[in-house]
Amino acid sequence: MPDATIKTEILIHDLKVPISVIDAGAKSLLNRQESYGPLTEKQIKVLKRIIRNTLATQRLVNDVLELGRSREGVMILSSFPISALVTSVLMEIFDFSDPGVAEVIRKTKTYNELEQVIKASGTGLSFSPKVWKTMVHLDQAKVRQILRNLVTNAFKHRASFVEISGSIKENQLILKVKDDGRGIPLADHKKIFETYFTTGSSIESAIESHGLGLAGVMVLLKDMGGTLVLDSDDGKGAEFTVTIPL
């Protein structure tokens, strides 16, 4: 690995500590008002925004480090059920957008319970009971990062619903993420996988859209010998299908 890359990665790695200090500080102010003093509604709102954004930063740091590991061909394999993969991705996403729902998801015990909880937020699941319980042997952090990026994009662009489905065929894990948003015109199908390509134009979306998600997904997939198929067009919603050999 070139020297400059190592230095950048160490620098990114070292961001972890200050970010957790910021996070812990904001959480103390919010949750321990008896010792830090009472807060106004407006102060609570600002603190919650700080906490949400430290979470987003922590995630970016971890994703970049995971990509670094991928570049070096480092695989950390473990066995885990599909249910744990999907549930943890949903928790990560709701932790950011709706922590109350994330808490409820954390407590669900069955597929049906989980389905009911997320249905209220316009999210559907489609897994057979057998697939849901299947144990797979993969690099969980990498698969989670792939699924989280696709689901986050679907949430960002949907009109009203997102569906996550999964199956296993010929010893391959197939995950599909579908939304009913404005879709992606055929002319952009290649471009969206390039680094820093986003369709957002306002300053707001420049902060929220880095155009790194899908480029990262492709790096991770290539690493695992997987593929991605995009089915979408202008006004037709989008469906991303990921296939990973088991």
Ligand X SMILES: Nc1ncnc2c1ncn2[C@@H]1O[C@H](COP(=O)(O)OP(=O)(O)OP(=O)(O)O)[C@@H](O)[C@H]1O
- Which string of x and - marks every residue 94-133 that binds Mg ion (by CB under 5 A)? ----------------------------------------
Q: Does 165 bind Mg ion (CB under 5 A)?
A: no
Residues in the chain: 246
Q: Interface with ligand X includes 213 (CB under 6 A)?
A: yes
Token pair listed for 68: 């670094």
For ligand X, the closer CB: 123 or 153: 153
Decide if residue 216 touches Mg ion (CB under 5 A).
no
DSSP state of 1: -
Radius of gyration of the chain (CA): 19
Residue 213 makes contact with Mg ion by CB under 5 A: yes
Among 212, 233, 236, 243, binds ligand X (CB under 6 A): 212
Q: Which of 166/181 has CB closer to ligand X? A: 181
d(CA 27, CA 18): 14
The yes or no reply on residue 148 touching ligand X (CB under 6 A) is no
Of these partners, ligand X, Mg ion, none, which one is at the site of residue 199 (CB under 5 to 8 Å by kind)?
Answer: ligand X
Among positive and negative, which fits the CA dihedral 197, 201, 206, 208? negative
Measured CA to CA, the distance from residue 233 to residue 187 in angstroms comes to: 9
Q: Is 145 in the site for ligand X (CB under 6 A)?
A: no
CA 22 to mean position of chain CA atoms = 22
Nearest to 200, CA basis, from 211, 190, 189: 211
- Does 228 interact with ligand X (rule: CB under 6 A)? no
- Please report where in the chains the tokens 């010929």 appear, as a residue: 170
DSSP string, 103-157: HHHHH--SHHHHHHHHHTTTEEEE--HHHHH-EEEE-HHHHHHHHHHHHHHHHHH
Report how far apart the first and last C-alpha atoms of the chain are (Å, whole number).
28
Q: List the one residue from 70, 153, 165, 232 that touches Mg ion (CB under 5 A).
A: 153
Q: Nearest approach, Cβ of 135 to ligand X (angstroms)?
A: 29
Q: Does 232 bind Mg ion (CB under 5 A)?
A: no
Least Cβ distance, residue 213 to ligand X (angstroms): 2
Asked if residue 236 binds ligand X (CB under 6 A), the reply is no
Under the rule (CB under 6 A), what is the footprint of ligand X?
149, 153-154, 157, 179, 181, 184, 192, 197-200, 209-215, 238
Under the rule (CB under 5 A), what is the footprint of Mg ion?
153, 213
